[in-house]
């Protein structure tokens, strides 16, 4: 389960941010997670809850913004939101180039 390792890294980033800002407590951590990132959100939340116990991030909220899979056709230039993993343009059959959907980013850390 790689979600536990992801949660560890997210917590490390948040704790480092809190320390740099002389904060005592972390209240929220915002994430951007692409639909193709392969993250099981429920498992990430559970791992996060367990791993933050006894830290300045204990009882903090993990706010997740899901990023859809968007791609641009290399032939006609149209941009599409993909609902499946078909990377061929529905308009001209060109190859779609991924624009978003693989993100896994800590967007913000809200500290007190």
Question: Structural domain of residue 62, as residue ranges?
Answer: 2-68+101-111
Alpha helices in 1-112 (DSSP H): 2-20, 41-51
Q: Which range has the worst mean pLDDT, 4-8, 19-23, 57-61, 81-85?
A: 81-85
In a domain, 82, yes or no: no
Domain count, the chain: 1
Each residue of 23-77: pLDDT tens digit?
999 999 999 999 999 999 999 999 999 999 999 999 999 999 999 999 999 999 9
**pLDDT, position 12:** 97
Residues in a beta bridge with 30: 63, 108
pTM of the model: 0.85
Taking CA atoms, 84 is separated from 10, 36, 58, 99, 101, in Å, by 28, 10, 37, 15, 12
Q: What CATH number did the domain enclosing 30 receive?
A: 3.30.2320.50
**pLDDT, position 67:** 96
């Amino acid at each position: 389960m790689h979600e536990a390792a992801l949660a560890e890294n997210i917590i490390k980033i948040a704790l480092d941010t809190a320390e740099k800002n002389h904060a005592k407590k972390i209240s929220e951590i915002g994430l951007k997670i692409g639909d193709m990132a392969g993250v099981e959100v429920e498992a990430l939340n559970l791992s996060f809850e367990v791993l933050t116990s006894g830290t300045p991030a204990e009882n903090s909220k993990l706010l997740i913004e899901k990023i859809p899979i968007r791609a641009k056709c290399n032939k006609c230039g149209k941009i599409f939101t993909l609902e499946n993993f078909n990377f061929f343009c529905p308009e001209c059959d060109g190859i779609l180039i991924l624009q978003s959907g693989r993100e896994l980013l800590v967007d913000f850390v809200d500290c007190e």
